[in-house]
Amino acid sequence: MKILLPAHMLETLRDPVSQIAPGCTLVPVHPAEVPSADLSDAEVLFLPWGFDHSSLEPLLARLPRLRWVHTISAGADHILLPALAAPNVVLTNARGVFSVPIAETVLAYMLAVVKRLPEFLRQQQAHRWHKLELRELDGLTVGIVGLGDIGREVARRCRALGMRVLGLRRDAGPDTDADEVLPPARLHDLLARADFVVIALPLTPQTRGLIDQAALAAMKPDAWLINISRGAVIEEAALIAALREGRIGGACLDVFAEEPLPAENPLWDLPNVIITPHNSWSSPRLEARQVSLFLENLRRYVAGEPLLNVVDPEAGY
C-alpha cells in the first residue's frame, strides 16, 4: 500500500505509520509539485497546507485507487472536488485539532475590547497617560454562529467567565455548553441579543455571505463581530460600511475573502477593527494533535473500522 504524506511531516510519521501499516511505501507530497513516483497504487493521501482546487486536481488524476483523503485543515471548502465525492473515497478533516487555540484567541479579542487594550497601546505609543472607562465580560452575552467543535470550545470558556451563551446550529436541541440554542431561521434574533457575535461556521454555498447588510443591521449598535471561520461568510463591503458609520461597535477579524489582506483594504485603518493574519489556530501543540488524529484514523483504516471526522462532500463539512 502506498501512502502520501505531507513532506514536512514525513520523518515524524515514518516509524509510527510503518508500525500500523507494515510494508507500506511512503511518498512525500507538497502543493508545489506532483510526486514523480508511480502513484497508481496509492490508497491514502494526507494533504498538507497549501493545496487548493488547482493544485489538487492534477494530483487526484494520478490516484485511481485512492480510498481515503485526510486534510490537515478543519475546513474542506478549498479542496472539495467531484473526485472527493466519489462513493469509494472517504474524506476526513482535522476537526477538533484547532479548537483550543482558536477559542483562546476569541477570548483574547473579547478581553482586548472590554479592557480597551488597542486604545491603551495607542496611548502608550503617544506617551499619553489617560484613564478609560472599562467593562467586564461577566454578564455579557455571546452569540456563537456555528456551534461545532470550535464554537463549543468558545462557549465553554465564555461561560467560565460568567457570560451568557447563545448558540446557532441546524440541530437546535439543548446543549450543555450553551444557555440557549437557536435554529438558523432565528439568526437575526441571536444577533439582536448578543454583545459579541462569533462566526464559527464552515464555508458552504449556504453560509457564503450569510452576514450581510440585513444581518449587520440586526446587531446591537455597540456589539462586536468576531470572525475566525472563513472571510467569505461575511459580506465585506457591508461590514466596512457598518464599521465606518458606527452601526456596530467593531470587528475582530482573523480571516478575509482575500488573503493576504491587500494593503489598500480600508479595514486596516479603521479604529474599531482588530486584525490578525489568519493566525488564531497557531499553537506549538498542533503537530502532535495532527499526528495523533491521523495515526488513529490510519489504524482504523487498516482495521476496516469507521474513520473519525468524516466530511460530507454535499454538506461541505
Catalytic residue among 169, 230, 235, 236: 230
Strand order in the sheet with 2-6: 25-29, 2-6, 42-47, 68-71, 90-92
Cell of 17: 505509520
The yes-or-no answer on residue 258 being catalytic is: no
The predicted pLDDT at position 34 comes to 84
Calculate helix-pair angle for 117-125, 99-114, nearest 10 degrees: 70
pLDDT number for residue 31: 94
Angle of helix 99-114 relative to helix 149-160, nearest 10 degrees, comes to 40
Look up 259 and say whether it is catalytic.
Answer: yes
Which domains, from first to last, does the chain contain? 2-97+284-303 (3.40.50.720), 99-275 (3.40.50.720)
> Over the chain (317 residues), what is each successive 10-residue block's mean pLDDT?
97 98 97 92 97 95 97 94 94 98 98 98 98 98 98 98 97 94 98 98 96 98 98 98 98 98 98 98 97 98 98 92
List the catalytic residue out of 278, 289, 299, 300.
Answer: 278
From the list 135, 259, 285, 305, the catalytic residue is 259
